[in-house]
A = this chain, B = another copy of it.
């Protein structure tokens, strides 16, 4: 279930694209091309060797020989067109929302590779911010003893408060959770507190930033505003690290050999 064309002429590449691009095949084209994009911004890329990938859901990627990121792309193409123009193969990918166009002009093609891939497994990721939210909701004591969770994702005019709680002295507690806290996290917390003060004018309100790490500057910034910081251990947060590991044979080893924490 795969086809390879070495040094094809451009017209036959066009035929391959017509045949396969809008069906569930991955089509890869390696060749010399220029790329133009217009949509939310505009970009142009003069001729050079790249590989272009059309995925089975019509995602389009233009990758150069270096870098993690594609040079140009289309997360999802609504409409392809392929034509010859002045001896070049022109591929146009259109998207309707937002309205964006990527035009690729091939001057030559070294290789076309068509295949169909089957992959129904989902990627499982742990360690997101939401994992911290859930850990706090399940075990509020990892932030503070006798903390009582009132609401998660409480809406205010300034946005959503991650965790809204009451402490043992019946003060209101606004908790902002961040994996990578910065300056803005403090501002955000600060604004939430302003909103809560408006909503509960007679109550004492505390603000806590919860994060696995923090820089001194951000701590200073917090202290200036009488806000608190609680460091959380990600090992406490990822609720089933061991279980997670055991679900796959290689991961036990992965967990020990490749351990990155100290």
Partner-B contacts on A (CB < 8 A): 2, 4, 6, 24, 26, 30, 34, 36, 38-51, 53, 55-57, 59, 61, 63-68, 71-76, 85, 90, 92, 99-101, 103, 105, 110-111, 113, 115-128, 157-159, 179, 183-184, 187-188, 191, 220-221, 224, 238, 241, 244, 247-248, 250-251, 254-255, 258-261
Contact = CB atoms under 8 A, between A and B. Distances in A.
B221 A158 contact: yes
Contact of A34 (B39, B238, B250): B250
Nearest to A36: B254
Contact of A126 (B42, B125, B179, B183): B42
A224 B116 CA distance: 54
A24 B39 CA distance: 33
Contacts of A99: 260-261
A73 B212 CA distance: 23
A6 to B, nearest CB: 8
Given A51-B26, A251-B36, A68 B59 contact: yes
Contacts of A241: 42
A205 B175 CA distance: 32
A43 B113 contact: no
A24 B220 CA distance: 45
Per assembly, the copies of the chain total 2
B119 A64 contact: yes
Nearest to A92: B258
Contacts of A254: 36, 38, 101, 103
Contacts of A258: 38, 92, 101, 103
Contact of A42 (B56, B103, B111, B238): B238
Contacts of A45: 121-124
Contacts of A250: 34, 36, 85, 90, 103, 105
Contact of A244 (B2, B44, B53, B117): B44
Nearest to A220: B157
A261 B44 CA distance: 18
Contact of A53 (B63, B74, B126, B259): B63
Contact of A128 (B39, B41, B47, B121): B41
B67 A111 contact: no
Contacts of A73: 68
Contacts of A248: 34, 36, 44, 46
